[in-house]
Structure 1
Amino acid sequence: MKTPVTVLGLGAMGTALARAFLAAGHPTTVWNRTPGRSPELDALGATRAATAADAAAASPLVVVCLLVDATVRTALDGLDLTGRTVVNLTNSTPEQSRATAERLASAGASYLDGGIMAVPPMIGTPGAFIFYSGPQDVFEQHRPALEVLARPAYVGTDPGLAALYDIALLSGMYGLFGGAQHALALITSANIPAADFTQQFLLPWLTAMLTSIPNMARQLDNGPVDTADSNLAMQSAAYENLVTTAQKQGVDPSLLTPMGELLRRAVAAGHEDEGLSALVGLLRTAG
């Protein structure tokens, strides 16, 4: 008999999680604040609970996937979770995750926090993975059930670490998308077809540039090299052309200006002969 599982929250992601559990043979109870959401789960064998309390009581493993941290508090506060393991896969900050862990410990639950690195159609496929943090023995106990959702990546006992890893990867993604969107705004401002430009030039260029990231990481771990092929002094001097061109083309440069300011700060702080990895230290001291 596979571990019975409860899924709280049947948005697109929660529905995908419940579907994966059902496909793997786990008895699955579902609950959503709006009754009747995702009726296709009924045909797959899901049991619907009338209340969050009934749903949590139905299974030793309770997976939460709601909109934001506030909805997690609303759904879980006041429930008797004694002996349950709660896995919170709601997007949150590290501080919110730690606070949830403290509240649920008071409610008698074991707690794992998670960060889903996938979109709903990827759940249950090899391309998806989920960060987990919290007590390692609790993670290992429930690993077989969690593996049906996505490749599990356990990152440490601090319950805030999964959220930190999640936010770090999302930050990298949005930065990449922001740069691509600015490039497409420039190209389309001259009535150049976006699809051809993307396939011929933008994707190959970004793919080639991504190969420099491991070198940045090595320099952060081991210290910067004496000189860089493209030092910050040169990059800072040339960067103004990016902003000027955007303005001349009628494109908002707001995605570009923060990097230009950071480059100028780095040069002023004496990092003119270093590479882009030097900017990380400046970001960490920005506050």
Structure 2
Amino acid sequence: MNFANLVRQHWAALRALLVLTVILGLAYPVVIWLVAQIPGPNDKANGSLIEVDGKLLGSSLIGQAFTDADGNPLPQYFQSRPSAAGDGYDPMATSASNLGPESIVDTPDKSSLLTLVCERSAAVGDLEGVDGTRPFCTGGGVGAVLSVIGPRDARGNVVNPTRVISVNEPCGTTQAPLLDTYEGVRVECRQPGPEGDAYSIGQIVPIRGSAPADPAVPADAVTASGSGLDPHISIAYADIQVNRVAKARGVSRAEVQHAVAAHTDGRFLGFFGEPTVNVVELNLALDRAQ
């Protein structure tokens, strides 16, 4: 290949690059942006922003924490589901907790997913005046998990336990161990320091407990969404908050229920998923009504 042909090929490639850059890198994005600004879809294209009296309050697509400076729930507002995104609902740190069903044993520096669920369920129960107990949780709101120590059979299951430790209940707390005895062996609380690590040689046994199979506190009240930004809650979670919000605002339960219904989104395409309530829009509507 001579030099002249090499120059022609590179010049053709450069022209194609410039033309495609103008079309796909400039013209196409501008056209799409102009189409998105057509009245109607432009609100969603711009982020579904919520403004009141010229003040930006957030987006109807991103959840918010309706709490005071100390993190306590504000009684006049519906509460969102938990968030693991940064300090909560941070679009720059959208994420999940990455804790799964096998996360049932607490460590000194991190609570297990089971204990987080138990703590949240107990807290929601106290706030809403409903039964906050749920399966595999202790009365103190931690994961009900035992380490059963003793000889094992061929399948690895302990037979004739010699020692039983409640691994998520450290000694010194006001709560008694979740059980007095397990298979005739006294249940101990977990000791601090190296002594407390004795549980690691035992068989980890979750304890179902006597809580109802269908807890009064729904699952979305105690678990975060995958993105950590979801502004929606289930109708069940909204329902148990109605009495508290109505009392705090000095309005009737029927008025609050009407607001909930007005901000409930149905199933996608009529059959995908479950109906949900947008907490951000609902709380804003209640503020506007007053």
Coarse TM-score class (shorter-chain normalised): under 0.3
**Which of the two has higher C-alpha Rg?**
2
- Tell me the TM-score normalized by structure 2: 0.20
Q: Which structure shows the bigger proportion of residues in helix conformation?
A: 1
Q: Pick 1 or 2: higher relative contact order, CA cutoff 8 A, min separation 6.
A: 2
